[in-house]
Amino acid sequence: MNHRLSTTGQRRHSRTANDGAIRVYGIVQGVFFRKNTVLKGRELGLRGWCMNTSEGTVRGAMEGQAGKVAEMKYWLQNSELNKQAPDQ
């Protein structure tokens, strides 16, 4: 299953920096989605935050090199790591 990603408020400061707000739809709560997102963002050298919403989505923002932001957006939509069930 792919997650649906909505991006808003993107601003390109230069060829190497990009930032913007994100909202991810799908099964994103109770499956370690935020934890995996934080780990991937750190791996890519991005700065940002993410949180669960009362609507069952995850929203957040990220900032970093444009190519790394694009890679993160792709990962948010397609990563198998985000489909893990939590340990019981």
Active site residue 42: no
CA-CA-CA-CA torsion sign (8, 72, 45, 14): negative
Among residues 52, 59, 78, 82, the one annotated as catalytic is 52
Among residues 2, 34, 42, 82, the one annotated as catalytic is 34
- In the three-class reduction of DSSP (H, G, I as helix; E, B as strand; rest coil), residue 44 is classed as coil
The residue among 79, 80, 75, 81 whose CA lies nearest residue 62 is 75
Active site residue 11: no
Enumerate the active-site residues: 34, 52
